Structure 1
Amino acid sequence: MDALQLANTAFAVDMFKKLCEKDKTANIVFAPLCTSTSLALAYKATKGDTADQMKKVLHLQDVKDVSFGFQTVTADVSKLTSFFALKMVKRLFVDKSLSPTTDFVNSTKRPFPSELELVEFKEKTEETRQKINKSLSELTDGKMENILNEDSVSDKTQILLVNAAYFVTNWMKKFPEAEIKECPFKINKTETKPVQMMNLEATFCLGYVKELNVAILELPCLNKHISMLILLPKDIEDETTGLEKLEKALTPETLLQWTNPSMMANTKVNVFLPKFSVEGDYDLKPLLESLGMTNVFNESASDFSEMCETKGVVLIKHYKTCVKYL
């Protein structure tokens, strides 16, 4: 795994842990590659302490060519769109009044061919908001409407970063419709709730983390290019969801270790899985600030001088994602 992949994995784990802290019982779904790609474009516009903070939070210290790395990763992901309904929208909207330098705009065209867009927040606030919403709806095939509400932008908005992602796929080994039935789903040690449960007996890759008493199952999607990894504690020992111990032990290193193919083996498994679709909508500003990325949101500290000479430029951040498995 190259330096950028390791960096993206580390950033993903950091995001996941912060989202878990916010709500220990909520379902969490997000596409960290969306966020890291668009933040990498914003990073390209920064200097000084602002750049150092972003570099640290995104774990880019060992990445030699950040722009080329993201260009390669984005191209690889784009190839998957012929196999799945997969859309990841990453946009950095910059108000024209900032007059971004020609050098900066030109430097983004190859590594970030569609991510940077000049708009008119100052002169045409509502028209710009509606135009952005329409564009994002079209880019996600109408799956995501009105991502920016009326309070999202104002005539003071200078830089807006928006991520939107959705993913719809079929399993390689499809769960039979006839086997779907209502079953109890364990929420914690004492509580259950009825759900529509899918069932399939087949051979899958299965691993086990002995010290955590956690089973790891790989469910490949159609064409095997993407898999879902399920980490399931064998027992719930207290009134929590049973995941807290696992989440505490989760690091970029342990995740790579646990999911290493050499740690898993083909095993006949009887799988019960709730039928589900998941959608998430987050304001990542407080999350990024808690990770140490504070300058980009602070008028007195932000430094976007690689892009423009205007002082006090700050970033606004929106994120939405949707995943459906059929």
Structure 2
Amino acid sequence: MAFIAALGLLMAGICPAVLCDGTLGRDTLSHEDHGKGRQLHSLTLASSNTDFALSLYKKLALRNPDKNVVFSPLSISAALTILSLGAKDSTMEEILEGLKFNLTEITEEEIHQGFGHLLQRLSQPEDQVEINTGSALFIDKEQPILSEFQEKTRALYQAEAFIADFKQPNEAKKLINDYVSNQTQGKIAELFSDLEERTSMVLVNYLLFKGKWKVPFNPNDTFESEFYLDEKRSVKVPMMKIKEVTTPYVRDEELSCSVLELKYTGNASALFILPDQGKMQQVESSLQPETLKKWKDSLIPRIINDLRMPKFSISTDYSLKEVLPELGIKKVFSQQADLSRITGTKDLYVSQVVHKAVLDVDETGTEATAATGVATVIRRQPRTLNFNRPFMVVITDMDSQSILFVAKITNPK
């Protein structure tokens, strides 16, 4: 199973850039603060990230109720958090509060230190799960960027910096797209389809996740079957199946859905939410961080006598400039934006936010062992779970409890 996402923030100049000697205020981070993020309880960061993930999911799903939804809340929030390093006053507060941080309970310093540490930890090489995340700044060769901003993005987020000539938009676009394509192993070949000549800086974040099921599906058992788009329409899809698998499961009668957890080898898991026919919108409207917690706390190892799930590869792309203001992030898109901690002057605003994601699900696995290691479970009645209608997926890094990806599959074909 593979998830790949990339997000690009495009910043344009309000007026011709003016070289300034301005420095950042005393409220910014110092090197002595570097250890603070490590002391930040991971659940504090995870709680805000979960709230943002579900809030954004609802906005995206509402705009396209019958379409697939795939995005990485972590990639989006990482890019916006880096951007907030260059923002001041209400512009900065809007970004962080839009990401669901309560600034009366957590400081800007703790957010950056905690986020930076999380991204660094996720990118540590691991034998069983591949997570590759990173950020890059593409700066116009004629745009003066404060060295302190570049230093902080590098120190806190390991962000790379490149010089681009945005007066040659096709060449600049190729430079950026080639970088993203290389980092996402060719899965996202064109993050930007066009760039404005007024562009001063582009901020890119990417996240690639590859995991192998702890209990794999046998490719020889995959067969063609119906996937029901709604009560009247269906499509033929390759359907994976596995019999007599023990895995965490809960039935939520109140919300009319079944919830199944499939684990990867390593420290990640996927939560599959299967609403009853016609109940997707009911489940979506009830989605809250508390809902996810209730499901996870209620999961019990069960024998699934017959588990069926479609094999698919889908991709999505979003322009988030219209969506993020609905979450309170508004000023950064206007000429009232204050990104003066980037240039020293109020000469920048965000003109584009582009997010692309790819989700591949197949049979691949490395060992056929029980997902929970539980050998004995009381079998009361045969339990069949057939993902042959729209469902949701939430991929989580178990160590940090951070949501890496959220998806809704309405049509796997």
Show the counterpart of 1:52: 93
Distance 1:170 1:157, change over 3 A: same
Quote the offset at 1:44 in angstroms.
0.9
Distance 1:97 1:14, change over 3 A: farther
Distance 1:81 1:154, change over 3 A: farther
In the alignment, the residues of structure 1 paired with residue 150 and residue 121 of structure 2 have an alpha-carbon distance, to the nearest angstrom, of: 23
Q: Tell me which of 274, 287, 303 is aligned to 1:250.
A: 287
In the alignment, the residues of structure 1 paired with residue 88 and residue 189 of structure 2 have an alpha-carbon distance, to the nearest angstrom, of: 35
In the alignment, the residues of structure 2 paired with residue 132 and residue 219 of structure 1 have an alpha-carbon distance, to the nearest angstrom, of: 35
In the alignment, the residues of structure 1 paired with residue 224 and residue 126 of structure 2 have an alpha-carbon distance, to the nearest angstrom, of: 33
After superposition, the C-alpha distances for 1:170-210 in whole angstroms (9 at most, x for unaligned) are: 31111112221112222223333222111112101001222
Distance 1:245 1:319, change over 3 A: same
User: Cα RMSD over matched residues?
Assistant: 2.0
Q: Is 2:136 the counterpart of 1:91?
A: yes
Structure that is richer in strand per residue: 2
| TM-score between the two structures when normalised by the length of structure 2 | 0.71
In the alignment, the residues of structure 2 paired with residue 92 and residue 9 of structure 1 have an alpha-carbon distance, to the nearest angstrom, of: 26
Q: Tell me which of 77, 80, 102 is aligned to 1:36.
A: 77
Structure that is richer in helix per residue: 1
Residues 7-86 of structure 1 mapped to structure 2, 5 A cutoff: 7-61=48-102, 62-64=105-107, 65-79=110-124, 82-86=127-131
In the alignment, the residues of structure 2 paired with residue 138 and residue 144 of structure 1 have an alpha-carbon distance, to the nearest angstrom, of: 9
**Structure 1 residue runs without a partner (length 5+):** none
Q: Tell me which of 142, 158, 169 is aligned to 1:113.
A: 158
In the alignment, the residues of structure 1 paired with residue 315 and residue 132 of structure 2 have an alpha-carbon distance, to the nearest angstrom, of: 14
| TM-score between the two structures when normalised by the length of structure 1 | 0.89
Show the counterpart of 2:236: 194
In the alignment, the residues of structure 1 paired with residue 289 and residue 125 of structure 2 have an alpha-carbon distance, to the nearest angstrom, of: 24
Percent of residue pairs identical: 27
User: Mean alpha-carbon deviation: is it higher for 165-174 or for 7-16?
Assistant: 165-174
Residues 195-210 of structure 1 mapped to structure 2, 5 A cutoff: 195-201=237-243, 202-210=245-253
Residues 262-281 of structure 1 mapped to structure 2, 5 A cutoff: 263-269=298-304, 270-281=306-317
Distance 1:186 1:125, change over 3 A: closer
Q: Is 2:345 the counterpart of 1:310?
A: yes
Greater RCO (Cα-Cα under 8 Å, separation 6 or more): 2
Q: Tell me which of 170, 180, 201 is aligned to 1:126.
A: 170
Distance 1:52 1:66, change over 3 A: same
Quote the offset at 1:312 in angstroms.
3.6
User: Mean alpha-carbon deviation: is it higher for 90-99 or for 140-149?
Assistant: 90-99
Q: Which letter maps to 2:274?
A: L
> Any idea what SS the aligned residue of 1:51 has?
helix
Number of residue pairs aligned between Structure 1 and Structure 2: 314
After superposition, the C-alpha distances for 1:215-242 in whole angstroms (9 at most, x for unaligned) are: 1100112x14211111112x324xxxx3
Q: Which letter maps to 2:216?
A: K
In the alignment, the residues of structure 1 paired with residue 142 and residue 90 of structure 2 have an alpha-carbon distance, to the nearest angstrom, of: 24
Q: Tell me which of 221, 231, 236 is aligned to 2:277.
A: 236
Show the counterpart of 1:217: 260
Q: Is the 8 A contact 1:38 1:92 kept in 2?
A: no
User: Mean alpha-carbon deviation: is it higher for 20-29 or for 71-80?
Assistant: 71-80
Q: Is the 8 A contact 2:136 2:159 kept in 1?
A: yes
Quote the offset at 1:80 in angstroms.
5.7
In the alignment, the residues of structure 2 paired with residue 217 and residue 108 of structure 1 have an alpha-carbon distance, to the nearest angstrom, of: 38
> Any idea what SS the aligned residue of 2:214 has?
coil
**Structure 2 residue runs without a partner (length 5+):** 1-41, 363-413
Q: Which letter maps to 1:232?
A: L
> Any idea what SS the aligned residue of 1:217 has?
strand
After superposition, the C-alpha distances for 1:69-120 in whole angstroms (9 at most, x for unaligned) are: 11121122113654334433433434343422222222222211125x2533
Quote the offset at 1:128 in angstroms.
2.0
